[in-house]
Amino acid sequence: MAYIASEPKLPVGEGSVFTAILQSGLSDVEAIIVYRGTQVFVILNAFPYATGHLLVMPYREIAELEELEVDEAAEMWSTVTDAVRAAKTAYQPGGLNVGINLGKPSGGSVSEHLHVHVVPRWWAMATS
């Protein structure tokens, strides 16, 4: 809640919220960036579906999966695998969702900046 209530000041301009965060000058801690690679980074979702909801994305703002350069794609999928491994270790979830929403109709709220969701999941077993 503190992060949401703080309303970090992001530069006004063109581009996605992720591009604005990258250009903001905020520290990685302030921006909740948990990993920076050569071509991709990982950020905690500010409005998560579940605890530990990570977003893996290229620095370059592109909308479509097929727009990834070969080296970006390789690093992105390697980083998604590392994010899954980290989420399993840190949260010990019952399962994970890994997915991409492509285009506005898919439910993607930031469809202009390709990102992969890594979402730990749990369910409560009913006991009798």
Angle at 77 between CA 109 and CA 96, to 5 degrees: 65
Instruction: Establish whether 115 is a catalytic residue.
Output: yes
Closest CA to 38 of 17, 60, 12: 60
On whether the CB atoms of residues 84 and 116 are closer than 8 A, the answer is: no
For 42, other C-beta atoms within 10 Å of its C-beta total: 22
Catalytic residue among 53, 113, 115, 117: 115
Q: What residues are annotated to the active site?
A: 115
